[in-house]
Amino acid sequence: MTGYKLSIIDQDYSRRARLSHALMAMGRHVEPFESVREFAASRPDCQILLINDEKMLLREALRYCEDEGLRVATIAYSPSINPHSVVDAIKAGAYDYYAWPVDTEGLNSAIDSCIQSAEARWERSQLTSDSKRLVGMLTRREKEVLECLVSGLSNRLIAERFGISTRTIELHRSHIIRKLGASNSAEAVRIALEAKGFG
């Protein structure tokens, strides 16, 4: 699990260097940054971010990653830790929180756990994104028919709802299956559900 790049954002050079060297000695690839702006310029994605939670850096970084749709898992640390900061950081999306100076052995284990958790989340996120892209290729009517399929309506009931023939619904259904790359209607419904709201 050492293959993931780690980024460190900390305005303090000595903390940044100390943490970078300790993690590199454990076989981690580490990129240190002084600011969120510098971090953003590297176009980060699918990585672990260690960030000093001072001067709103954590919130700024989390907001940037969310706005950009980046897959970044965050672990925060701070020399002046308090329970409110920890709770706020976790609620904002941080995976874990450490007091500085950090126990690098414990942090190294936490990074592995963070990667496992993040991989599962990123996989779900990718599946949702792919499904949304596929559903986005459908026409308005095809989306309406797909929504009816998700609701469990038969071709006859869908045809009655739109005032068209069942043959037309069958054509829409076959177009939906083809465009989604599905092998049958059940798989098309699964893709629609993965897209989480496709209207």
CATH of the domain at 122: 3.40.50.2300
pLDDT for the residue 150: 94
Indicate the residue type of 174. Answer: S
Cβ atoms of 114 and 48 closer than 8 Å: yes
Are 72 and 94 in a shared domain? yes
User: With 90 as the cut, is the pLDDT of residue 151 above it?
Assistant: yes
In which domain, by residue range, is 171 found? Answer: 137-195
Mean pLDDT over 24-51 rounds to 92
Are 41 and 72 in a shared domain? yes
Residue recorded with tokens 């054509």: 171
pLDDT for the residue 3: 65
pLDDT for the residue 198: 55
Domain's final residue, options 128, 146, 163 = 128
Token pair of 165, please? 């023939």
pLDDT for the residue 123: 82
What is the band of 1 on the pLDDT scale with cuts at 50, 70, 90? very low
Are 115 and 182 in a shared domain? no
H-only helix segments in the chain: 13-24, 36-41, 57-68, 83-92, 104-136, 140-150, 155-162, 166-180, 185-195
DSSP state of 30: E
Token pair of 39, please? 């971090």
Mean pLDDT over 71-100 rounds to 91
Domain's final residue, options 97, 128, 159 = 128
Are 117 and 159 in a shared domain? no
User: With 50 as the cut, is the pLDDT of residue 187 above it?
Assistant: yes
Are 120 and 162 in a shared domain? no
Are 88 and 33 in a shared domain? yes
Closest to 56 (Cα-Cα) out of 82, 85, 17, 32 = 85
The pLDDT > 90 percentage for the chain reads: 73
User: With 70 as the cut, is the pLDDT of residue 197 above it?
Assistant: no
Are 14 and 98 in a shared domain? yes
User: With 50 as the cut, is the pLDDT of residue 2 above it?
Assistant: no
pLDDT tens per residue across span 100-149: 999 999 999 999 999 998 888 888 878 888 899 999 999 999 999 999 99
User: With 80 as the cut, is the pLDDT of residue 15 above it?
Assistant: yes
What is the band of 185 on the pLDDT scale with cuts at 50, 70, 90? very high
Are 144 and 119 in a shared domain? no
Domain's final residue, options 128, 155, 178 = 128
Are 97 and 114 in a shared domain? yes
3-state secondary structure of 76: strand
In this predicted model, which residue has the larger pLDDT, 127 or 159?
Answer: 159
Are 99 and 10 in a shared domain? yes
- The tally of CA atoms less than 13 A away on the side-chain side of residue 84 is 0
Give the number of domains in the chain.
Answer: 2
pTM of the full structure? 0.67
What is the band of 171 on the pLDDT scale with cuts at 50, 70, 90? very high
| Average pLDDT score, the chain | 91
User: With 90 as the cut, is the pLDDT of residue 92 above it?
Assistant: no
